[in-house]
A and B are shown apart, each in its own frame.
Chain A
Amino acid sequence: MSDEVVRVVTPFPLTEAQRALIQAKMERFLDGSSFSLQEEIDESLIGGVVVFVRDLIIDCSIRTQLEKIKEHVLKGGLK
């Protein structure tokens, strides 16, 4: 029985290959602890993935990257 739930949010439904990839990476990160993936769709992410594990949010989405760039530009980082 799974002890942990790892929430995975993507803009599109995961393919088998993507699911396997995420699972492998999270297993390594959690040092082999058992977990189950809870998949969600959020089209606003555009691309990439957001992972909620334990009390961590691992945001690897294109949306967040664009927001960081936008914030940087608005603060005058690019002139």
Chain B
Amino acid sequence: MIRIDRSIILQIINFVALVLLLFRFLFKPVVRALDQRSQFIRGELQKIEDEKKNLEATKRALEEEAARAKEKYLEIMDQAKLEASRIKEGIIREAYEEGEKIKNEYRRKARKEMEELLSGLREDIVELTEEVVKKFLATQITPEVQTRLIDVFLEEALRELKAQVEAIHER
């Protein structure tokens, strides 16, 4: 016959009571606390995920902004190059025109100086020739030549004068 010790039954009852108490006062709060903790962690993870998404969106926005800025920079650079090219061409054209102006001015001055020089030279030559011719003629005017000069030149001059006077009278 099986003999059941009373103390074992009490121990079982105590154990069951302990388990019930533990379940009621320990296990449930721990589980609740763990749930809360788990929810908190999930919330934090969600926040991190959201933050990460925000950061990625910000990164994309910044990258787009950087791309637009680069595009704008390239556009400005192109315009600047065009403008620089126009300015360069303008400066070259102005310099060329200025050079042409200076060149023409120098040509004009050189031509004027040359003309003045030639004019002076011509005057000098004419003066010199006149002197030589005068001296030469002075040696050639003999009384006979002088008589001939008077005869021919005076005759011709008087005839012309007479003709002019007659023409005036006829009018």
Q: How many residues in B have their beta carbons less than 8 Å from beta carbons of A? A: 24
Given contacts A11-B141, A29-B161, A60 and B122 within 8 Å (CB-CB) = no
Let me know if A12 and B143 touch, CB within 8 A.
yes
Residues of A within 8 A of B (CB): 10-12, 15, 17-18, 21-22, 25-26, 28-29, 46-49, 51, 56, 58-60, 62-63, 66, 70, 73-74
Nearest first, the 8 A-B pairs at minimum CB distance are A60-B153, A47-B141, A48-B149, A29-B158, A58-B157, A49-B150, A60-B154, A18-B147
Classify the secondary structure of B's interface with A: helix
Let me know if A70 and B126 touch, CB within 8 A.
yes
| C-alpha spacing A18/B143, complex, angstroms | 9
Q: Give the residue name and chain of the B residue nearest to A17 (CB).
A: B147
Residue B31 lies at the interface, judged by CB distance under 8 Å to chain A: no
- B136 → chain A closest CB, angstroms: 10
Residue B138 lies at the interface, judged by CB distance under 8 Å to chain A: yes
| C-alpha spacing A18/B138, complex, angstroms | 18
Set of chain A residues within 8 Å of B138, measured between Cβ atoms: 46
Set of chain A residues within 8 Å of B155, measured between Cβ atoms: 25
| C-alpha spacing A56/B154, complex, angstroms | 13
From A15, A25, A29, A60, B143 is in contact (CB under 8 Å) with: A15
| C-alpha spacing A52/B156, complex, angstroms | 16
Let me know if A29 and B162 touch, CB within 8 A.
yes
Set of chain B residues within 8 Å of A28, measured between Cβ atoms: 158
| C-alpha spacing A22/B155, complex, angstroms | 9
List B123-152 residues whose CB lies under 8 Å from chain A. Answer: 123, 126, 130, 133-134, 137-138, 141, 143, 145-147, 149-151
Let me know if B133 and A66 touch, CB within 8 A.
yes
List B85-140 residues whose CB lies under 8 Å from chain A. Answer: 122-123, 126, 130, 133-134, 137-138
